[in-house]
Structure 1
Amino acid sequence: MSTITLTVKGMSCQHCVNSVEGALKKKGAAAKVNLSGNSVTVNYEVKQITLAQIKETIEDLGFDVV
């Protein structure tokens, strides 16, 4: 299992948290959003989802991965 913490801009509320965590869960990754830190920590299996797919999933929700 791999873990990465990404800086994500644009998240501001519990709806944002639920959207990001839910979308990544559907892709097979476990995510934990930190609103005050503008970050998302993701635990994932490389065989199930790639880092590029994780970033794309977050960006498709309207947030910026920096």
Structure 2
Amino acid sequence: MTEQRIDLGLTASAPAGGGCGDGCGCGGGGAAASSASITPATSELRVEGMTCGHCVRAVTEELNALDGVEVVDIDLREGGTSLVRIASTGAVTDDALATAIDEAGYTLAR
């Protein structure tokens, strides 16, 4: 199994001169460089009713289907309130997150 890492740029700054620093030329000042930047956003939700790996997969699939969601991390607490962390490349509304949790068959803890 190969480990895959996704750098969301939450802690590190871009290399001097812009771009990602891997030599691909993005942000190098060419015509393809974008002046707009995307600010990563993170959300934490407490979800009730999750009891197993199937529950985790169902919630993960529904959240990943939302535009902009990049990473979903779930701390399963069987029969309790699980912690769901979402990293996105833009604003995902609270309503969209709540709807995705509901579609998966679970309830947000209040």
| Structure 2 equivalent of residue 33 of structure 1 | 74
Partner of 2:27: none
Deviation at 1:12, TM superposition (A): 0.6
Taking structure 1 as the reference length, the TM-score comes to 0.83
1 or 2 for the larger relative contact order (CA 8 Å, sep ≥6)? 1
RMSD in angstroms over aligned alpha carbons?
Answer: 1.4
Amino acid at match of 1:61: A
Unaligned runs of 5+ in 1: none
Q: Runs of at least 4 residues of structure 1 off by over 6 A?
A: none
The answer to which of 37-46 and 5-14 deviates more is: 37-46
Matching of residues 48-59 of structure 1 within 5 Å: 49-59=92-102
Partner of 1:3: 42
For 2:65 and 2:105, the matched residues in 1 are separated by 17
Give structure 2 stretches of 5+ with no counterpart.
Answer: 1-39
- Name whichever structure is richer in strand by fraction: 1
Return the offset for 1:55.
1.2
1:38 match: secondary structure: strand
| TM-score, length basis structure 2 | 0.53
